[in-house]
Amino acid sequence: QKEVEQDPGPLSVPEGAIVSLNCTYSNSAFQYFMWYRQYSRKGPELLMYTYSSGNKEDGRFTAQVDKSSKYISLFIRDSQPSDSATYLCAMSSNTGNQFYFGTGTSLTVIP
Amino acid sequence: SQTIHQWPATLVQPVGSPLSLECTVEGTSNPNLYWYRQAAGRGLQLLFYSVGIGQISSEVPQNLSASRPQDRQFILSSKKLLLSDSGFYLCAWSPGGVNQETQYFGPGTRLLVL
């Protein structure tokens, strides 16, 4: 079983829709949770990060962590064509120096 | 603010040729440094990471090697490239220490081995 599972999509939504991206994980030691956006042929860009459980909001983006279910989500409100990209979730723990990534979900927002 | 640089941006190399990719970080000290490879349509594969000068951990046996000659410099090398070495190579850094809250990526190097 992979440490982090992420549906690869692709996901296609109309402009203005609410997008929900999700990851599940198996290691209960994970404490830090990150979401990255990666445009084609570019390096991943850190969007948001959270510690432990709860919600964090930044503009149109909301990150949610449910440690009891080992489930994290990224919500994008009022999606824009510029949100079209691959979204990667990542997580880490207090021990070790590694980060564990999902395989990414490809999102297309149609004008 | 911190900045991470990678070069070259794109590289086309023949099979059997050597490789040297460079990564430098500005605006921070004692970072943890990482090399990943991202194949088309696949996730990130951790190749090497380093917690200090001269300290390299290898995650995947292969014909690649890494070195950290200075605190904020990380180099990925190969003596003889294989076709399977083609891919998108990403360097990343995270703050040193126990709490690994975040990781930041460079712009990447696209390598094509022919």
Chain A residues with CB-CB distance to B25 below 8 A: none
Q: Mind telling me how many Å the CA of A57 is from chain B's nearest CA? A: 17
pLDDT the model gives residue B101: 81
Provide the total of helices (H) and of strands (E) in chain A, helices listed first: 0, 11
Say whether the peptide bond before residue B31 is cis (omega within 30 degrees of 0).
Answer: no
- Considering CB atoms only, which of A41, A44, A92 is closest to B100? A92
Question: What would the pLDDT profile of A67-100 be if each residue is shown by its tens digit?
Answer: 999 999 999 999 999 999 999 999 998 777 889 9
Chain A residues with CB-CB distance to B104 below 8 A: 46
Average the pLDDT over A1-26 and give the result. Answer: 93
- Do residues A35 and A85 touch, judged by C-beta distance below 8 A? no
Identify which has the larger pLDDT, B25 or B1: B25
pLDDT the model gives residue B61: 65
Chain A residues with CB-CB distance to B57 below 8 A: 97
- Considering CB atoms only, which of A32, A51, A103 is closest to B43? A103
pLDDT-based confidence at residue B62 (cuts at 50, 70, 90) = confident
Q: Rounded to an integer, what distance in angstroms lies between the CA atom of residue A6 and that of residue B106?
A: 23
